[in-house]
Structure 1
Amino acid sequence: MKKLIVAGVMALGFLSASAQTKIGYVNTDEVIAAMPETQKANKELQEYQESLAKQYDDLEKEANDKSAQFIKDSATLNASMKEIKRDELIKLIQRVQGFNNEAQEKAKQAAQQKFAPIQQKAMDAIKSVAKKSGYSYVLDINSVLVGPPGDDILPLVKKELGIVDAPKAPVKPATPPAKQ
């Protein structure tokens, strides 16, 4: 009998604890996309990528020009000069390929550097809202397939970050067709 009472008290304890658990969810991608810092970072990243692309295009043009020149001059060059020019051309083409890989890596690193503080700021805001509003759990809606019902805290997080949504235009009701 004593075991039954202890089990009953424990079950009530679990039920009351779970009844007090407040669950919220948020779309972190939407939070980050709404932040003004994101637009600035995207613009800077795009400019950086365009700069790298320009450098790549210049290097590729140089390789194409030298290749065309080699083809044009190869009939008049002796064997040793052909060998030297061919080696120079091969090294230049390898440099172009290496630059392409390096540029992709640099762009990736630049994106990580620019977005890490933005992601951290968003996470800090989510944690702050959770603490202020008494949420025990906040789930990212993008990574939860099945879960308990919860509250969408996106508006609270946007408010915490000072993001004001643009007012939406009122939707006009469809007009019924004219009667004949």
Structure 2
Amino acid sequence: MKKFFTVVLFASGLMMVAAHAQAQTKIGYISSQEVIGIMPETRKADTLLTDFRNALLASAQEKQAAFYAAYEKFAKDSTTMSEAVKSVKKQELNKLSTELGGEEERIQNALQQKRDELIMPINKKAFEAIQAVAKEAGYTYVFEKEALLVAPTGEDILPLVAKKLNIKLPNAAGANAPAPAKKP
């Protein structure tokens, strides 16, 4: 009987330790894109990126207008030019045409570089806020909401991260998000 009592006591102790370990696992999820989308810095970056894009397009249009003007001038004046001058002018026009041909790719590369420059600090700030909330609220795991097809029950920590960043959630995101569970 004493042996049975010892086994039962040991088994119940193991079950209590396992239950305690399981109770400490807290799982949350968040859409990092949603966090970034509601940050005021993102709207500012979008505005700056739009202005930068418009400036690049204006510059490209000026280059195109200059090319057409040079071409029209060449077409008009070519009858009075010597063959050597015509050859030099044609080379200049070909060079301008080649530059215009690569302008769209240069614009796309410049836009991508500017976007990366503007978005990187925003992504970093959002990630640091998510990490801070997870640590403060005791989350063991925080998953990207869109990456999970099947997952254990968890909590959406978007409201907590928005609060950490001092951002008011739009009604659509805040109304559908469940309130964070209270710590036991």
If the TM-score is normalised by the length of the shorter chain, which range does it land in? 0.7 to 0.9
Equivalenced residue count is 162
Higher percent of residues as helix? 2
Partner secondary structure for residue 164 of structure 1: coil
Identical counterparts, % of pairs = 37
Distance 2:71 2:16 in 1: 81
Match of 2:130 among 122, 126, 129: 126
| Aligned amino acid, residue 96 of structure 1 | L
Q: Say which of 103, 108, 121 aligns to 1:117.
A: 121
Partner of 2:147: 143
Q: Structure 1 residue 94: deviation in Å?
A: 1.8
Deviation at 1:66, TM superposition (A): 1.6
Q: Secondary structure at the match of 2:70?
A: helix
User: RMSD of aligned C-alpha atoms?
Assistant: 2.6
1:156 maps to which of 151, 156, 160: 160
CA offsets 1:123-165 (integer angstroms, 9 cap, x no match)? 1110111011111111111222332221111111101100113
What is residue 101 of structure 2 aligned with on the other side?
A: 97
Instruction: Give the Cα–Cα distance (whole angstroms) in 1 for the partners of residues 91 and 159 of structure 2.
Output: 62
Q: Which residue of 2 aligns with 1:68?
A: 72
Shift of 1:68: 2.5
Structure 1 moving runs of 4+ over 4 Å: 9-16
Distance 1:81 1:136, change over 3 A: same
Equivalent pair of 2:159/2:169 in contact (CA under 8 Å): no
Q: CA deviation at 1:57?
A: 0.7
Question: In the alignment, which of 40, 48, 51 is matched to residue 47 of structure 1?
Answer: 51
Compute the TM-score of the two structures, normalised by the length of structure 1: 0.78
Gaps of 5+ in 1: 1-8, 169-180
In structure 1, give the amino acid aligned to 2:39. M
CA distance in structure 2 between the aligned counterparts of 1:145 and 1:167, rounded to whole angstroms: 26
Alignment of 1:162-177 (within 5 A): 162-165=166-169
Q: Which has the higher contact order (CA 8 A, sep 6+)?
A: 1
- Contact (CA 8 Å) 2:26, 2:138: kept in 1 or not? yes
3-state SS in 2 of match to 1:145:
coil
Quick check: 1:78 aligned with 2:78?
no
**Residue 63 of structure 1: CA displacement?**
1.0
| More moved, 143-152 vs 50-59 | 143-152
How far does the alpha carbon of each residue in 1:12-38 deviate from its partner, in whole angstroms, 9 at most, with x for none?
866753443111111111111111111
Change (3 A) 1:166 1:23: closer
Q: Take 2:93 and 2:15, find their aligned partners in 1: how far apart are those partners? A: 78
1:177: which partner in 2? Answer: none
What amino acid does structure 1 have at the position aligned with 2:121?
P
> Which residue identity does 1:57 align to in structure 2?
Q
Change (3 A) 1:167 1:19: closer
Superposed displacement of residue 166, structure 1: 5.0
Provide the residue aligned with 1:59 in structure 2. 63
Query: In structure 2, how many angstroms separate the alpha carbons of the residues matched to 1:90 and 1:63?
Result: 10
